[in-house]
Amino acid sequence: MEIDAPSHLATLGHPQRLAIFRLLMRRFPDRVAAGELAQTLSLKSSTLSAYLAALSQAGLITQERVGTSLRYAINMPEVRATLGYLFLDCCRGRPDLCAPATAPGPAQGTPEGPYNVLFICTGNSARSIFAEALLRREGAGRFNVYSAGTQPSARPNPYALEVLSQDQHDISHLRSKHIAELQTAAAPPFDFVFTVCNQAANEDCPAWPGQPVSAHWGLPDPVAATGTEAEKSLAFRQTYAALQNRIRAFTALPLASLDRISLQNAVDEIGRTTPGHPT
């Protein structure tokens, strides 16, 4: 593949175009609607269109029409080729000079657990609480599990706790907490970090130390459900079931035997194909 690295670098040299690129990288492999990009980055539609056109022309992103909405995603083969060019050509392939320092991760020979796993959503009241409780049970002994929110609620949602109680989970230790609690020097190093809501994935958070394997498993927020008590309860039950499918698929992976790229592809695929993935 012939790489136009100068064009790619020039395109990403604009701070707003770079912000769009970084957001789409955080959401990969999802396709993100133009309206969501504009709202998240506080951009006018006309301005966003110009930036998206420049990124598309450079080959860094792709566009797809879904109904009446245009959705965008990273063109990963092109991005990988550009990074490969910088490493192999500019750095002459010398990892001692150009490769980032990384802590050993689960795809780099870590023994079979326990792995430290973090689930993040905005309120840390339902989706990430479900994921925490589910992985504690489905992966007992293999995982240390945490959850947190970027704008946490005061406490887990009562409907969420009711669903967990009905399915015989221990809810005594569950609480809503800010992500800052897990970004201190005393916090555990994470092997996996999963976002389970789009808003949290869109936020420009600092990179986690040690470069854990990360993925976006976005699901609609059951807290936003309207209707009767039964209809609201059903929304929580459906979210719980979708996350249960994803957690079971995750715990079935042969983590210790997968290389990092294979493991990354596997956790991305779980978010794409398991029931409950939003369209």
Q: Is position 75 within any domain?
A: yes
Residue 30 structural domain: 5-98
Q: Is position 17 within any domain?
A: yes
Q: Is position 60 within any domain?
A: yes
Q: What is the pTM of this model?
A: 0.74
Residue 84 has pLDDT above 50, yes or no: yes
Q: Is position 90 within any domain?
A: yes
Could you tell me if 276 and 242 are in contact, meaning their C-beta atoms sit under 8 angstroms apart? yes
CATH number, position 203: 3.40.50.2300
Question: Measuring CA to CA, how many Å separate 131 from each of 50, 69, 244, 265?
Answer: 38, 30, 8, 20
Provide the β-strand partners of residue 146. 118
Residue 190 has pLDDT above 90, yes or no: yes
pLDDT (average), residues 71-89: 86
Could you tell me if 123 and 195 are in contact, meaning their C-beta atoms sit under 8 angstroms apart? no
Strand ranges inside the chain, DSSP E: 32-33, 61-66, 69-74, 115-121, 143-149, 192-195, 213-216
Q: Is position 279 within any domain?
A: no
Residue of 90, 91, 98, 197 marked active site = 197
Neighbours of 160 (CB within 10 A): 23
Could you tell me if 192 and 146 are in contact, meaning their C-beta atoms sit under 8 angstroms apart? no
Query: What does the pLDDT look like over 119-165, one tens digit per residue?
Result: 999 999 999 999 999 999 999 889 999 999 999 999 999 999 999 99
**Which among 64, 98, 132 is the end of a domain?**
98
**Which among 80, 98, 116 is the end of a domain?**
98
Could you tell me if 246 and 270 are in contact, meaning their C-beta atoms sit under 8 angstroms apart? yes
Residue 121 appears among annotated catalytic residues: yes
Question: Measuring CA to CA, how many Å separate 99 from each of 22, 54, 96, 103?
Answer: 20, 29, 6, 12
Q: Closest by alpha carbon to 99, among 87, 85, 109?
A: 87
Residue 90 appears among annotated catalytic residues: no
Q: Is position 245 within any domain?
A: yes
Q: Let me know whether 73 and 23 are in one domain.
A: yes
Q: Is position 19 within any domain?
A: yes
pLDDT (average), residues 241-252: 96
Query: What does the pLDDT look like over 4-54, one tens digit per residue?
Result: 788 888 999 999 999 999 999 988 888 999 999 999 899 999 999 999 999
pLDDT (average), residues 104-133: 82
Q: What is the pLDDT of residue 96?
A: 66
Could you tell me if 120 and 150 are in contact, meaning their C-beta atoms sit under 8 angstroms apart? yes
Spatial distance between the Cα atoms of 89 and 49, rounded to a whole number of angstroms:
33
Residue of 90, 91, 98, 121 marked active site = 121
The secondary structure of residue 189, as a DSSP letter, is P
